[in-house]
Amino acid sequence: MPDLPLTEPLETRVEEPEGSLEQLASASSPEEVRAVAARWPACLSAWGRLGDAAMAESRPVDAYAFYRVGYHRGLDRIRQAGWRGAGVVPWAHHGNRGFLSCLAGLSAAAGELSEMEEARRCRAFLEQLAPDRPG
């Protein structure tokens, strides 16, 4: 049995679907971002970008829905990767950023919808999962 670190939290790392981030990087319109999400529904970064675009257009209900999809898919993904309610999902690992961005966006969108308790819970969860995330 491998030795587990006793003083450091376990790290969970996930990856985005192959080819999805390259397509997302070249997407220059909301339609192109939607096309990435449609082709790769498992691309958490695409859901985050859709949420970001909706927030930028003052559409917090739409943003909340996009971020929630990314959050739930991401939660499933980190659990599949071994996360069991403890340990970190580091921002430093690029593949984790889609999930963490959706969680941050969900907090912001919940706040815009006056769901302050949910916004607080999401912020606290984000701080717990990714203490290395830039402020």
Residue 27 structure tokens:
């997407």
Instruction: Specify the DSSP class assigned to residue 3.
Output: P
13 within a domain of the structure (yes/no): no
- Does 3 score more than 90 pLDDT? no
For residues 105 and 51, what is the distance between their CA atoms, to the nearest angstrom?
A: 7
What is the mean pLDDT of the segment spanning 98-104?
Answer: 98
Task: Tell me the residue type at 78.
Answer: I
14 within a domain of the structure (yes/no): no
121 within a domain of the structure (yes/no): yes
pLDDT in tens, 26-71: 999 999 999 999 999 999 999 999 999 999 999 999 999 999 999 9
111 within a domain of the structure (yes/no): yes
What is the mean pLDDT of the segment spanning 76-81?
Answer: 96
What is the pLDDT of the chain when averaged over all its residues? 94
Q: What is the predicted pLDDT for the residue at 2?
A: 57
DSSP for 33-60? HHHHHHH-TT-HHHHHHHHHHHHHTT-H
Model confidence at 9, pLDDT cuts 50, 70, 90, reads: low
- The domain tally of the chain equals 1
- Does 8 score more than 60 pLDDT? no
44 within a domain of the structure (yes/no): yes
* Residues 89, 10 contacting (CB under 8 angstroms): no
33 within a domain of the structure (yes/no): yes
Determine the structural domain holding residue 87 and report its residue range.
20-129
CA dihedral 23→24→25→31, nearest 10 degrees, is: 100
Model confidence at 135, pLDDT cuts 50, 70, 90, reads: confident
Cβ of 27: how many Cβ atoms within 10 Å?
17
CATH code where residue 46 lies: 1.25.40
Which of 127 and 6 is assigned the larger pLDDT?
127
102 within a domain of the structure (yes/no): yes
